[in-house]
Amino acid sequence: MTAAIIDGKAFAADLRGRVGTLARAFEASAGRKAGLAVVLVGEDPASQVYVRSKGKSTLEAGMASFEHKLPAETPEADLLALVEQLNTDPAVDGILVQLPLPAHMNEAKVIAAINPDKDVDGFNVINVGRLATGLNGFVPCTPLGCIMLLKDRLGSLSGLDAVVIGRSNIVGKPMAQLLLAESCTVTIAHSRTKDLPEVVRRADIVVAAVGRPEMIKGDWIKPGATVIDVGINRVPGKVEGKTRLVGDVDFAGASEVAGAITPVPGGVGPMTIAVLLRNALVAAHRNAGIALAKDAI
Ligand code: NAD
């Protein structure tokens, strides 16, 4: 079997287009643009790239982008004061504090300070609780993007066996909650799981979010399974001095067995920002009291 490729890049481009159309309609009814604020503390190069890219995508989607860059040595109290100012700013619908924060800051405390109704990353415990109890809240962007790709590919996920490898708060745990909400039978595997290959072999859906290059082998995959590879790992390239990106799944091996698989790059990666824009637009509608059809985006 040669797996179908799940084209996250194309799906994300389409989602961004739909968000853009709805953002213009929002501006016409609300008399203002939907607004997303991104806060970056310090000069971490990867975070700088993400923040630049988020700002550019926000503008492209017809929304207002507010970027706040603070020096690495900013006292935590100053960051909390900025978050409080953004919480009460009517032009700001969504707030994203780029992680990781410098070591002297308490990430949990900062995330807890974000107004849950502006928490478009879905990391605030109120939104974690809403997801766990089936209430309407904000869901972390990467796992929500994975669910969108899965539903687009498979339609109903009800009754399927899903294995999530990784239990981080950002990907693994919310991914498992979302699959459960879709009525999958969910197993969460992690670094202490015994006989991971056997656990993965049971799965109709495999979501890999580990951060270990090509760890999940083709012969672990059940024939016909759908494989979602969240991992982004930079490894030495074939040409000396060059690097390339690979996922957590051995793509060549798994695509011989799986029914469908996301590539790296071009699978889950592009979904994260597209879903962030989607979440910001949903926040804008809620904050402005403007209805948005349930399945509009
Ligand atoms: P993390 O380091 O917080 O969590 C990794 C998880 O993998 C842990 O729960 C750990 O228990 C598990 N794990 C580690 N070694 C294992 C092993 N040998 N067997 C089974 N499980 C093992 O990582 P994260 O933030 O969840 O990210 C995971 C991967 O996803 C990374 O490669 C990251 O770059 C990528 N990622 C991609 C996106 C995106 O596509 N936009 C977003 C977030 C994370």
The fraction of the chain above a pLDDT of 70, given in percent, is 100
Measured in Å, residue 158 CA sits from the centre of ligand 1 at 25
pLDDT tens sequence across 161-177: 999 999 999 999 999 99
Q: At what angle do helices 269-288 and 141-154 cross, to 10 degrees?
A: 100
Domain identity same for 145 and 265: yes
User: Which ranges constitute the DSSP H helices of the chain?
Assistant: 8-30, 45-60, 76-88, 107-113, 125-133, 141-154, 172-181, 196-201, 251-254, 269-288
Residue 135 is assigned to a structural domain of this protein: no
pLDDT tens sequence across 63-104: 999 999 999 999 999 999 999 999 999 999 999 999 999 999
State the closest ligand 1 atom to the C-alpha of 165, by its place in the atom list counted from 1.
Answer: 21
Query: Which residue of 191, 194, 268, 275 sits with most ligand 1 atoms within 8 Å of its CB, as the best mutation to test the pocket?
Result: 191
Residue-range definition of the domain harbouring residue 244: 141-270
Measured in Å, residue 231 CA sits from the centre of ligand 1 at 6
Work out how many domains the chain is built from and give that number.
2
State the closest ligand 1 atom to the C-alpha of 193, by its place in the atom list counted from 1.
Answer: 20
* 294 pLDDT above the threshold of 90: no
* 159 pLDDT above the threshold of 90: yes
Measured in Å, residue 190 CA sits from the centre of ligand 1 at 9
* Average pLDDT of every residue of the chain: 97
Q: What is the mean pLDDT of residues 265-279?
A: 98
- Is the separation of the CB atoms in 33 and 288 below 8 Å? no
Residue 264 is assigned to a structural domain of this protein: yes
Residue 125 is assigned to a structural domain of this protein: no
Domain identity same for 145 and 263: yes
Residue 95 is assigned to a structural domain of this protein: yes
Tokens linked to 271: 């979904």
Provide the pLDDT confidence category of residue 115 given band limits of 50, 70 and 90: very high
pLDDT the model gives residue 293? 87
Task: Name the residue at shortest CA distance from atom 5 of ligand 1.
Answer: 210
Residue 65 is assigned to a structural domain of this protein: yes
Burial bucket for residue 121 (CB in 10 Å: 0-12, 13-18, 19+):
buried
Residue 288 is assigned to a structural domain of this protein: no
Domain identity same for 154 and 257: yes
Domain identity same for 110 and 145: no
Residue 259 is assigned to a structural domain of this protein: yes
Measured in Å, residue 249 CA sits from the centre of ligand 1 at 12
Domain identity same for 241 and 197: yes
pLDDT the model gives residue 295? 84
In order of 153, 179, 262, 269, the CA distances from 231 in angstroms are 20, 18, 11, 9
pLDDT the model gives residue 224? 98
Domain identity same for 156 and 261: yes
Domain identity same for 66 and 186: no
Query: Which residue of 96, 168, 198 sits with most ligand 1 atoms within 8 Å of its CB, as the best mutation to test the pocket?
Result: 168
* 1 pLDDT above the threshold of 80: no
Domain identity same for 111 and 152: no
Domain identity same for 93 and 191: no
Pocket of ligand 1 (CB under 6 A): 142, 165-168, 170-172, 189-191, 193, 196, 209-212, 230-233, 268-269, 272
Measured in Å, residue 165 CA sits from the centre of ligand 1 at 8
pLDDT tens sequence across 4-44: 999 999 999 999 999 999 999 999 999 999 999 999 999 99
CATH number at residue 265: 3.40.50.720
pLDDT tens sequence across 236-260: 998 999 999 999 999 999 999 999 9
Domain identity same for 260 and 146: yes
State the closest ligand 1 atom to the C-alpha of 271, by its place in the atom list counted from 1.
Answer: 41
* 105 pLDDT above the threshold of 90: yes
pLDDT the model gives residue 23? 98
Burial bucket for residue 202 (CB in 10 Å: 0-12, 13-18, 19+):
middle
CATH number at residue 104: 3.40.50.10860
Q: What is the set of active-site residues?
A: 54, 98, 121
pLDDT the model gives residue 262? 98
Domain identity same for 166 and 258: yes
CA distance 16 to 2: 29
**pTM for the structure as a whole:** 0.97
Domain identity same for 166 and 251: yes
Residue 297 is assigned to a structural domain of this protein: no
Residues 6+ apart with CB under 8 A from 176: 162, 164, 167, 186, 188
Q: What is the mean pLDDT of residues 176-193?
A: 98
